[in-house]
Amino acid sequence: MRKNIVAGNWKMNLNRQEAVALVDQVLTQLPAENITEILFVPSFVHLHKIAKMCTDITNVFTASQDCSSHESGAFTSEVSANMIASCNAKYVVLGHSERRSNFKESNQVLKIKVEQAFANNLAVIFCCGETLDQRESGAHFDWIKLQLTESIFHLSAADFSDIVVAYEPIWAIGTGITASSEQAQEIHAFIRDLIAQRYGNYVAKNTSILYGGSCKPINAQELFSQQDIDGGLIGGASLNATDFVAITQLF
Ligand code: PEP
């Protein structure tokens, strides 16, 4: 079902004590009547602890930042989807641009990771987005279509209901430059239309599509007020409890 989601991607930040303190602060500041689905996306090593802190807190869950494309075995340092599920995570984020660029994750590898996640009952936040060069040359529509087609459009309509798409223009991630609400809405509508073409209007209308890229309390409200923007994948601002909580309440 389409819902408003705000996910805080901590990336490789926060030791255990800092992570616990941040979650404590967020949970303390969160209004009792919160209806946004809120996700903490910590490092693997904090996943179990943070999930435990969120037990019985309505609408607050955890997600991992990645999972292995392998089921199990001799893959030193890899973390399987099964391990993540056993830590009570609800989602796995796949295809973040930092994984794609720093670790050369292809659409094909991501397709396998999506299957690993689903085999372990994890929902997926699937990231897509273009570079500045692609946007300036007008190639961004085709690029995003390719990312979705090659990694998630093989899924059945039933499985696709466990996909959340995150549009993250690479030129806006961690740069302080946000896509304008018109730029973001244009791509979100384009993504929803692609989903409608592949799965029909019902599935498209029920898919949550998040925006990510220098989203902060000051710009989130305008972004979230767009028709096809259902929330945010938040990096930097998710490390500050007050900013993060503020963003979660802007719908
Ligand atoms: C992200 O890491 O997904 C992200 C959007 O980062 P930031 O909000 O810092 O741009």
pLDDT of 1 strictly over 90 = no
Name every protein residue with a CB atom under 6 angstroms from any ligand 1 atom. Answer: 9, 11, 168, 173-174, 212-215, 233-237
Instruction: Please give the domain boundaries of the chain with CATH numbers for all domains.
Output: 5-248 (3.20.20.70)
Which pLDDT band, with edges at 50, 70 and 90, does 24 fall under? very high
Mean of the per-residue pLDDT values for the chain?
A: 97
pLDDT of 176 strictly over 90 = no
Average pLDDT over every residue of 101-126 = 98
Share of the chain above pLDDT 70, in %: 100
Helices (H) and strands (E) in the chain, counts: 12, 8
Q: Does the annotation count 96 as an active-site position? A: yes
Specify whether the CB–CB gap between 228 and 237 falls below 8 A.
no
Residue among 13, 41, 168, 175 whose CB has most ligand 1 atoms within 8 A, to mutate: 168
Q: Nearest to residue 198, comparing CAs of 158, 161, 154, 229?
A: 154
152-173 confidence digits (pLDDT tens): 999 999 999 999 999 999 999 9
Q: Which atom of ligand 1 lies nearest, measured to the CA of 168?
A: 5
Share of the chain above pLDDT 90, in %: 98
Shortest-distance Cα residue to atom 4 of ligand 1 = 235
Q: Does the annotation count 70 as an active-site position? A: no
What values do phi and psi take at 62, rounded to 5?
-120, 160
Beta strands in 162-236 (DSSP E): 163-167, 209-212, 231-234
Q: Which one of 37, 46, 96, 130 is the catalytic residue?
A: 96
Tell me how far apart the alpha carbons of residues 146 and 159 are, in angstroms, rounded to a whole number: 19
Residue among 128, 216, 233 whose CB has most ligand 1 atoms within 8 A, to mutate: 233
